[in-house]
Amino acid sequence: MEQLKELTKGATLIAKKELAGYFSTPIGYIVISVFLVIAGFLFFSTFFLYGQAELRAYFELLPLLFAFVIPAITMRLFAEERNTGSFEMLMTLPLSTSEVVAGKILAATSFAAIMISPTLVYAISVAFVGSLDIGPVIGGYLGAVLLASAYASIGVFASSMTKNQIVAFIIGFAICIVLSLITKFLYFISPKLVSLFEYISADYHFQNIARGVVDSRNIIYFASVIAISSMASIYQLEVKR
């Protein structure tokens, strides 16, 4: 318990610093703007076509959008530190590697949460024009935060591997896009394997939650992605020294 308290303390400090870092340069604002433009296009292009009071089109494409945007958020977290050399200072502070990794994931997830929060306006505007089913909206946003934290931990892992931010982005993007799209290619695969692929697909678990059904299996999936990527990051950071 005492250890957990220490862990969250160090992680919170790192997260606060990184989150402030996103907004001290234009990059944070650019990423948010790009995300909102694309999300807005996805939402409004179908909103008037279907004439239904729901956010489904927006949530359906969110994993794909996140697979692109989240690695862009996380790519600098360790790669930049390795590149400027501040990594050496960070690693000689009285913090454990797990605190640092947890802090960086927390920062990227918080940034993603800030980034998607303006889209709550869509839910509000939908509620004005029709009767909004609140379940899928709550599920959708809960799922979005879980998805963001899972992709953020993958992105942090990608960033921990290299000192080149572009490489970090490409590795993170590659892993996230596979997890987002893997269920879309299931037509050619034997039905026995389908459930396996569904299990490793982030999109599948996200869509389940976004339907408004929160199942422990979906939560466990995201928790395991976060745990595995964090451990892989810690391994990377401790070994490459």
Partner 1 sequence: MISVRDLVKHYGEVKAVDGISFTIRKGEITGLLGPNGAGKTTTLRIITGYLKPTSGMVSIDEFLVDQNPIEIKKRIGYLPESAPLYPDMMVYDFLQFMADIRQIYDKEKIKDVAIQCGITEVMHKNINELSKGYKQRVGLAQAILHDPEILVLDEPTNGLDPNQIVEIRDLIKELGKEKTVILSTHILQEVEATCNRVIIIDKGAIVADDSTSDLKSAKGKDVRVNCVVSGASFNAIQSALQKIAGVKNVQHIKDEEQLCHVQIVTGLDVDVRPQVFNCIKDNGWILYEMNREYRSLEHVFRELTVGM
- With contacts defined by CB under 8 A, name the span among 19-27, 106-114, 197-205, 215-223 that binds partner 1: 19-27
Cα 209 from Cα 191, distance rounded (Å): 23
Structure tokens at 167: 């490489």
* Minimum CB distance to partner 1, residue 154 (Å): 24
Query: Looking at 86, 117, 195, 224, which residue binds partner 1 (CB under 8 A)?
Result: 86
Verify binding: residue 85, partner 1, rule CB under 8 A: yes
- With contacts defined by CB under 8 A, name the span among 55-63, 80-88, 191-199, 203-211 that binds partner 1: 80-88
* Minimum CB distance to partner 1, residue 21 (Å): 6
Verify binding: residue 24, partner 1, rule CB under 8 A: yes
- With contacts defined by CB under 8 A, name the span among 20-28, 34-42, 135-143, 169-177 that binds partner 1: 20-28
Among residues 84 and 195, whose Cβ is nearest to partner 1?
Answer: 84
Verify binding: residue 84, partner 1, rule CB under 8 A: yes
Residues 177-216 that bind partner 1 (CB under 8 A): none
- With contacts defined by CB under 8 A, name the span among 40-48, 85-93, 127-135, 164-172 that binds partner 1: 85-93
Q: What share of the chain is helix, strand, coil (3-state, %, to 5)?
A: 85, 0, 15
Distance of CA 42 to the CA centre of its chain: 19
> Do the Cβ atoms of 63 and 152 come closer than 8 Å?
no
Would you call 60 helix, strand, or coil by DSSP?
Answer: helix
Distance of CA 115 to the CA centre of its chain: 11
> Do the Cβ atoms of 151 and 214 come closer than 8 Å?
no
Verify binding: residue 94, partner 1, rule CB under 8 A: yes
Structure tokens at 44: 């409004």
Query: Looking at 42, 69, 95, 152, which residue binds partner 1 (CB under 8 A)?
Result: 95
* Minimum CB distance to partner 1, residue 106 (Å): 15
Torsion angle of the four alpha carbons 96, 156, 108, 12, in this order, in degrees rounded to the nearest 10: 0
Cα 233 from Cα 175, distance rounded (Å): 14
Cα 72 from Cα 75, distance rounded (Å): 5
* Minimum CB distance to partner 1, residue 11 (Å): 11
Among residues 83 and 125, whose Cβ is nearest to partner 1?
Answer: 83
Residue 240 DSSP code: -
- Among 138, 228, 119, residue whose Cα is nearest residue 179: 228
Verify binding: residue 51, partner 1, rule CB under 8 A: no
Where along the sequence are the contacts to partner 1 (CB under 8 A)? 10, 13, 17, 20-21, 24-25, 84-89, 91-96, 241
